[in-house]
Structures are given as C-alpha cells and as structure tokens.
Amino acid sequence: MNIDRFVLAFAGFLILVSLGLGLLVHPYWHALTAFVGLNMFQAAFTRFCPLAIILKKLGVKPGSAFA
C-alpha cells in the first residue's frame, strides 16, 4: 500500500468513525469530520498533508499525489 492509498483509507475511516460517534455519543464529534474534510481539501491544492509526511518518514512507499 502506498502513501496515497493509506491517506485516503485513513481519512475515510476517521470520517466514518466521527460520524458514528456524532450520532451515538455527542454531536461535537462532527467537528472531526469537518477537520478531515478541510484537510483533504487543502491537501488537494497545496500537497501538504501531515499524515503523508509522517508515513514518508516511516518508510512507506510514496505514491504520485504526495511524492
């Protein structure tokens, strides 16, 4: 799995978890959904993604988006 796929999978997982927690625990969990969405939006234009930087330092194979 390369960095691009891992970032997308992790973002999708966080969105689903925060939506579930927002429905079952407290609506403030939806703020995490908004944060992940905004981070994905800005990464599309700036190519800056903190998770991609961490994964690159851990030696995960780079993809084309965050190379």
Per-domain residue ranges for the chain?
Answer: 3-57
The pLDDT, as a whole number, for residue 41 is 96
State the Cα–Cα distance between residues 13 and 32, nearest whole angstrom: 12
Mean pLDDT throughout 17-36? 97
pLDDT (tens digit, 9 = 90+) per residue, 11-24? Answer: 999 999 999 999 99
CB neighbourhood size of 57 (10 A):
8
Judge contact between 22 and 30, C-beta under 8 A: yes
Mean pLDDT throughout 31-54? 95
pLDDT classification of 66: cutoffs 50, 70, 90: confident
